[in-house]
A and B are shown apart, each in its own frame.
Chain A
Amino acid sequence: MPDMMFSYVPGTSFIHRLDPRTKIIAVMVLSIFIFRSTTVVHLCGMALLFLILCHAGRVGVLHHLRSLRPMLVFFTFIFMVQLFLTSGAPLFTFGWLQPTVEGMVTGAFVTSRFILLILYASVLTSTTRAAMLTNGIERLLRPLPLKGLGVTSFEIATMMSLSIHFVPVLLMHARDVRNAQLSRGLGTRRNFYTGMMSMVIPVLTGSLRMADEIAMGMDSRCYQGRYRTSLFELRMRTADRLVIGGIGILFGFIVLSAL
């Protein structure tokens, strides 16, 4: 799992050096564009832009395609449903199954949109360190009224990095519990309910104890989340302003076409 934990590929390309905020905003606007695209030309254009970004970011296309794997089954399912359940001119008849031309077109359209969405998100995460993305999200959330929720953007950033560090510890903890049970002759449970109980309760109590200790450690070091400074301040460069400008024009087009 550690190797698949982060999809970041180290590098110093143009895209790697962009500000994380620029990249987050760009991916959001491009995702909206992908959703609103209604013609094949738009989708092909987005696919071409993706290939250009792959080249500019010096990350292989294969690396991005790997991020599609978890969603593959689901996408095939949606394609099949569209193919067989849309009414229209029949493609061919196979028993009671009757795929239609309209179904194939809609299915291909819908699924290729999803694939593009995942690929663009993968461009973002493969060229930006998780810590920098957390920083970028923190800065983007700062102007939002989070008072109603009762947290500051700094606390959200702290909680995100805390969670990232909790994940491997929890996995280790779960493995320890499993091994402890196996070594005492408590083989794999067949029953769903008892299997879940015997796993969840020890992991839960152990990790709550750990969380208490961490909270005490933070309290005793006078943690406060009202305002925090950072060693690496984010700074917008000329390239960032250009990209933001281009994205802004695209966003303007989306808004105009929606009116």
Chain B
Amino acid sequence: MVNNNYDISQNHVSPVRKMVYASLFAAMTAVGAFMVIPLGPIPFTLQVLFVFMAGSMLKARWGMISMIIYVLLGVIGLPVFSGGASGFGVLIGPTGGYLFGFIVAAGLIGYFFEHNPPSHIMVNIIYMLAGLIVIYVMGVVQLAFIARLDLTTAIALGAVPFLPADVIKAIVAAVISTRYDI
């Protein structure tokens, strides 16, 4: 079933449609936490991929809202954080910085896509990597601060092991977001 009303005027996008998309991406990020791809000892989840896609497809404001919804889902006790964790404790615990990073990264990527639509796939990948850096910086800072680690240990524990897989996810997100537009 195709919604003809929206096809007639592409400029007008109802907030209800944006709302539903935002909650869809929040749900996808939640499901992404379950889709564990076992590669070696560290579990790789697809969360970050959906964070990138929420930013690039929903743009700054709704991308951010969808990530806020995702975090709130975890806060009310659904096991949507990585590995099935949940609760307010995770948010202000050692790994909470990544969750705040998701919100900011989706907003940043959305901002880039709004103001400077990528002309080439490389630009697109650079935008995604900028978002990834934001997630890592916020995550590592909170990890170091809360778990009382020094910065090098925090980086070795909280960023380096995930880097290769996350770069691949950034590339995948870039490829998908150049092909699909909503």
**A249 CB within 8 Å of chain B:** no
Q: Is the CB of A67 within 8 A of B172?
A: no
**A13 CB within 8 Å of chain B:** no
Which residues of chain B are near A124, meaning CB under 8 Å? Answer: 77, 87-88
Knowing A5-B79, A211-B21, the reply to whether A216 touches B26 (Cβ < 8 A) is: no
Which residues of chain B are near A35, meaning CB under 8 Å? Answer: 92, 146
Q: Is the CB of B23 within 8 A of A162?
A: yes
- Residues of A in contact (CB 8 Å), total 77
Cα distance A171–B80 in the bound complex, in angstroms: 13
Cα distance A126–B79 in the bound complex, in angstroms: 12
Which residues of chain A are near B90, meaning CB under 8 Å? Answer: 71, 117-118, 121
Knowing A130-B76, A212-B3, the reply to whether A114 touches B172 (Cβ < 8 A) is: no
Q: Is the CB of A159 within 8 A of B3?
A: no
Which residues of chain A are near B82, meaning CB under 8 Å? Answer: 70
In whole Å, how far is B75's beta carbon from the nearest beta carbon of chain A? Answer: 8
Knowing A70-B84, A204-B180, the reply to whether A117 touches B92 (Cβ < 8 A) is: yes
Q: What residue of chain A has the Cβ atom nearest to residue B81's Cβ? A: A70
Q: Is the CB of A205 within 8 A of B157?
A: no
**B8 CB within 8 Å of chain A:** no
Q: What residue of chain B has the Cβ atom nearest to residue A169's Cβ? A: B27
In whole Å, how far is A153's beta carbon from the nearest beta carbon of chain B? Answer: 11
Q: Is the CB of B79 within 8 A of A156?
A: no
A7, A70, A125, A211: the one contacting B24 at CB < 8 Å is A211
Which residues of chain B are near A225, meaning CB under 8 Å? Answer: 15, 19
A74, A155, A216, A219: the one contacting B94 at CB < 8 Å is A74
Which residues of chain A are near B80, meaning CB under 8 Å? Answer: 167
In whole Å, how far is A20's beta carbon from the nearest beta carbon of chain B? Answer: 9
Q: Is the CB of A158 within 8 A of B78?
A: no
Knowing A121-B88, A163-B26, A215-B20, the reply to whether A110 touches B61 (Cβ < 8 A) is: no
Which residues of chain A are near B148, meaning CB under 8 Å? Answer: 82, 106, 110
Cα distance A162–B26 in the bound complex, in angstroms: 10
Q: What residue of chain A has the Cβ atom nearest to residue B82's Cβ? A: A70
Cα distance A103–B26 in the bound complex, in angstroms: 39
| Residue-wise interface mask of A (200-217) relative to B, using a CB-CB cutoff of 8 A (1 in contact, 0 not) | 110011011011111110
Cα distance A116–B39 in the bound complex, in angstroms: 31
Q: Is the CB of B86 within 8 A of A7?
A: yes
Cα distance A210–B182 in the bound complex, in angstroms: 13
In whole Å, how far is B14's beta carbon from the nearest beta carbon of chain A? Answer: 6
Knowing A149-B64, A192-B168, A215-B16, the reply to whether A164 touches B73 (Cβ < 8 A) is: yes
In whole Å, how far is A111's beta carbon from the nearest beta carbon of chain B? Answer: 9
Q: Is the CB of A149 within 8 A of B61?
A: yes
Cα distance A201–B76 in the bound complex, in angstroms: 30
**B155 CB within 8 Å of chain A:** no
B20-49 with Cβ < 8 A to chain A: 20-24, 26-28, 30-31, 34-35, 37, 39, 46, 49
Binding site for B on A (CB under 8 A): 1, 4-8, 27-28, 31, 35, 67, 69-71, 74, 77-78, 81-82, 85, 106, 110, 114, 116-122, 124-126, 128, 130, 133-134, 137, 149-151, 155-156, 158-160, 162-164, 166-167, 170-171, 174, 192-193, 195-197, 199-201, 204-205, 207-208, 210-216, 218-219, 223, 225
What are 8 sample pairs from A and B whose C-beta atoms fall under 8 A apart?
A: A31-B92, A71-B85, A158-B19, A166-B27, A166-B28, A167-B27, A215-B21, A225-B15
